[in-house]
Amino acid sequence: MTNIIGCHGSVWSGTFDALAFRKAVERTIAAGFDLIEVPLFDPYSFDATRARQVIEEVGIAVNASLGLTGSTDISSEHRETVAAGEALLNKAIEVLGVIGGRYLVGVIYGALNKHRAPASEDGRQNGLSVLRRVAARAEDAGIKLGLEVVNRYETNIINTAKEAMAYVEEADHTNVYVHLDTYHMNIEEPDMFSPVLRAATRLGYVHIGESHRGYLGSGSVDFDAFFRALALTSYDGPIVFESFSSAVVDPAMSNLLAVWRNLWDDPCHLASHANQFIRNKLCAVDTIRSH
């Protein structure tokens, strides 16, 4: 398998000014990864020009992720909120174009928070309408959109691969893909194998995270089944390690994701271990498939 293997920037830092970005990139490379995924929650303040200089200097691939907030929720029933969300996504596409990214992923279809009720049909349609327009703009820039399937405590729109496939089908745009995350799958899915098969025709991006967001292999995620499914479906997209620590992540992000405790103290060791863990799993299933 020839997947590009990446690391989420939040493993290294909670902020991404020019200095922090360079340090995160250098550490990502030192840990053995091919790609850094930038958490682009505020694309308006991100220095894309300087980031591109770093990327070109060191030679690393880059993608970006974000989660919409209550004030930028494109699945809201309020016109101003929807417009603000669309503007944010368009700005993210602009930034990605400057830095040479190829994927914008995450909870880009609604607000990333705990909801008190199901999404309304009007709100759902608002989100789909925005995504169609953003997908077209992204396609013109050579950027793909990945809709991350997250657990019920972080969205009320798509919590399973089945729901994601239905949503992508309704979006009806070839530039909208499913983004699976093993951490969230371990909460919502019946197993780690069948959802990959269900999403195979539209699977465009993968996050690898343990059940407690710590060291890979130290929790309850069935990674053997997951990687076998990736091999069986010949998935060739990015595979990105994601982990959070309240000692590293911005406090607001820690609170949003309920990261109340630290499961690791050394991000360099954590990331190097994750890089080798992922590559070993890919090697193992590729060996099985080839025989």
- 232, 289 contact by CB (below 8 A): yes
Catalytic residue among 37, 189, 210, 242: 242
| Rounded-to-10 torsion of CA 191, 262, 242, 157 | 60
Phi and psi angles of residue 40, each rounded to the nearest 5 degrees, phi first: -100, 60
Catalytic residue among 148, 154, 189, 210: 148
* Count of other CB atoms within 10 angstroms of residue 130: 20
If residue 66 lies in a helix (H) or strand (E), which one and from where to where? strand 61-68
Residue found under tokens 């398998």: 1
Query: Which residue type occupies 196?
Result: V
Secondary structure percentages of the chain, helix, strand, coil, to 5: 45, 15, 40
Annotated active-site residue 154? The verdict is: no
Annotated active-site residue 148? The verdict is: yes
Distances (CA, A) of 8 to 61, 173, 187, 274, 288: 12, 27, 20, 11, 29
**Cα–Cα distance for residue pair 205/256, rounded to 1 Å:** 23
The most distant pair of C-alpha atoms in the chain lies apart, rounded to whole Å, by 56
**Catalytic (active-site) positions:** 148, 242
